Amino acid sequence: MAQISIRNVRKSYAKQEVVHGVDLEVATGEFIVILGPSGCGKSTLLRMIAGLESVTSGDITIDNRVVNDLEPHQRGCAMVFQNYALYPHMTVAENIGYALKVAGLPKVDRLARVQAVATSVGLTEFLERRPGQLSGGQRQRVAMARAIIREPKVFLFDEPLSNLDAKLRVQMRHEIRRIHNHIHATSVFVTHDQQEGMTLADRLVVMNKGVIEQVGTPEEIYHRPASVYVGGFIGSPAMNFLSGQISAQDSAVVLANGAKIPLPVPLAAAHDGQFTQIGLRPEELALVPAGKGAFDAAFEFAEELGAARLYHFQFEDLMLTVLSADKPAVEKGKPMGIRIGAGAVHLFAADTGKRLSAKVGSRERELV
């Protein structure tokens, strides 16, 4: 169990900087998920914590000790790799026990610990097999066991579930959470799968292009995305974006075609005249007869999801998606009214992409 601080950490390969000054505090026992698209630098950040990659500038501390120049094993971190990285020439038991063997633990103690850990992840029957003779899920467990046995202060995961099929992935997700609740090691988990991130995280870190876009609980990030990027990245189906201008007089944001989406007075007042990107989540929109909603849009097609359906509309030159559980009568090309739920409007500055709130600066008093 340990607390991790990352202070203005940068990483360059040759002349190219790929991590541009990251600050992050991870509390003891916390489960942090770093979420971001491919190539955004999540693995690089994780590997810098692990000690597998040097830090170009900035500091990483674990329990208030700067670890920048420590060897990986001196940092008390264990890591689960994406491709598991099991030693192919060793049996499962040898794989799990390797760290203890290197540490010079006597064989009897080692076997006992291997046995105990193998039992906890359900691997007892496979101890004598080689990794090549295991299924993907079993290999995943071996990788977990190999990390657990070291009783690390910090658990690092680099997309450990991405090679598994959808069902197994969910199952292993639960397993990882269960193990975390049991041993409470500080965990940093990297993924590009937002569902995985949302479900596992105590706090979520959304990264993009080598910077952190937002840090918060999954709920905060879903309900109050700090930027257009986070809004669009988190949530499935993805958020709709429209452009408009805020009018304090109308207490609304006015779209290009004159339609008005009402806003709370303080929010509109704080940003009068500002050009804005309006984020609307498909699940917070509702379908009503034409003319009854905030604006009308022409129906294009629907997708069946089982419990609900996705309705796709043409609005101006954009596509708009609405998630609805009831079955309104729609017809291709015919307009439908789109109703916007109370408090469902996310406003972002058109130029910076940052979230607009009622009061800028100092302590935010968010009314939307």
Partner 1 sequence: MRRAYFKNNWIAALMVTPQLIVVFTFFYFPASQAMYWAFTLEQPWGGGNTWVGLDNFRAILSDDLYWSSVWLSIVFALGSTALAVGMALILAIFVDRQLAGYKAYKIGMIWPYAIAAPAVGLAFRFIFSPGAGIMMFVNQVFPDLWNPVENGTQAMAMVILAGAWKQVAYNFIFFLAGLQSIPRSLIEAGAMDGARTLRRMRDIQLPLLAPTFFFVLVINITDSFTDSFGIIDTMTAGGPSRATNLMVYKIFNDGFQGLDYSGAAAQSIILMGLVIALTFVQFRYIERKVHYT
Q: Which of 13, 87, 275, 301 contacts ligand ATP by CB under 6 A?
A: 13
Write the binding mask 42 to 61 for ligand ATP: x where contact by CB under 6 A, - elsewhere: xxx-----------------
| 43 in contact with Mg ion (CB under 5 A) | yes
Contacts of 127-131 with C-beta under 8 Å, sequence gap 24+, read 127/91, 127/92, 127/93, 128/91, 128/92, 128/93, 129/91, 129/92, 130/88, 130/89, 130/90, 130/91, 130/92, 131/84, 131/86, 131/87, 131/88, 131/90, 131/92, 131/95
Sign for the CA dihedral angle at 221, 223, 224, 225 comes to positive
Out of ligand ATP, partner 1, Mg ion, none, which partner does residue 215 contact, by CB within 5 to 8 A per kind? none
Q: Stretches 31-39, 67-75, 127-135, 293-301: which one binds ligand ATP (CB under 6 A)? A: 31-39
CB closer to ligand ATP, 40 vs 161: 40
Of 131, 202, 145, 154, whose CA–CA distance to 175 is shortest?
Answer: 145
Q: How far apart are alpha carbons 355 and 327 in whole angstroms?
A: 33
> Residue 239 has what DSSP assignment?
P
Q: How far apart are alpha carbons 187 and 193 in whole angstroms?
A: 17
- 3-class DSSP assignment, residue 233: helix
Q: How far apart are alpha carbons 92 and 143 in whole angstroms?
A: 9
Q: How far apart are alpha carbons 117 and 351 in whole angstroms?
A: 53
Secondary structure element (H or E) that encloses residue 118, with its range: helix 107-120
Segment 305-334, which members bind ligand ATP (CB under 6 A)?
Answer: none
Could you tell me how many residues of this chain bind partner 1 (CB under 8 A)? 25
Out of partner 1, ligand ATP, Mg ion, none, which partner does residue 13 contact, by CB within 5 to 8 A per kind? ligand ATP
| 160 in contact with ligand ATP (CB under 6 A) | no
| 129 in contact with partner 1 (CB under 8 A) | no
Contact 259, 295 (CB under 8 A): yes
Q: Which of 83, 119, 195, 352 contacts partner 1 by CB under 8 A?
A: 83
| 153 in contact with partner 1 (CB under 8 A) | no
Q: Stretches 79-87, 109-117, 230-238, 248-256: which one binds partner 1 (CB under 8 A)? A: 79-87
Q: What is the identity of the amino acid at 137? A: G
Q: Stretches 39-47, 110-118, 139-147, 339-347: which one binds ligand ATP (CB under 6 A)? A: 39-47
Give CA separation, 84 vs 40, 133, 137, 256, 342, in Å: 21, 14, 10, 52, 46
Q: How far apart are alpha carbons 58 and 68 in whole angstroms?
A: 9
| 103 in contact with partner 1 (CB under 8 A) | yes
Which residue's Cβ lies closest to ligand ATP? 43
| 138 in contact with Mg ion (CB under 5 A) | no
Q: Which of 32, 36, 281, 340 contacts ligand ATP by CB under 6 A?
A: 36
Contact 311, 330 (CB under 8 A): yes
Residues 6+ apart with CB under 8 A from 110: 97, 100, 101
Out of partner 1, ligand ATP, Mg ion, none, which partner does residue 22 contact, by CB within 5 to 8 A per kind? none
| 279 in contact with ligand ATP (CB under 6 A) | no
Q: How far apart are alpha carbons 250 and 148 in whole angstroms?
A: 59
Segment 166-195, which members bind ligand ATP (CB under 6 A)?
Answer: 192
| 83 in contact with ligand ATP (CB under 6 A) | no
Task: Provide, rounded to whole angstroms, the least separation between the CB of residue 45 and ligand ATP.
Answer: 7
Which residues of the shown chain bind ligand ATP in the complex (CB under 6 A)? 13, 18, 36, 38-44, 192
Which residues of the shown chain bind Mg ion in the complex (CB under 5 A)? 43
Which residues of the shown chain bind partner 1 in the complex (CB under 8 A)? 50-52, 71-73, 77-79, 81-83, 85-89, 98-99, 102-103, 130, 132, 146, 150
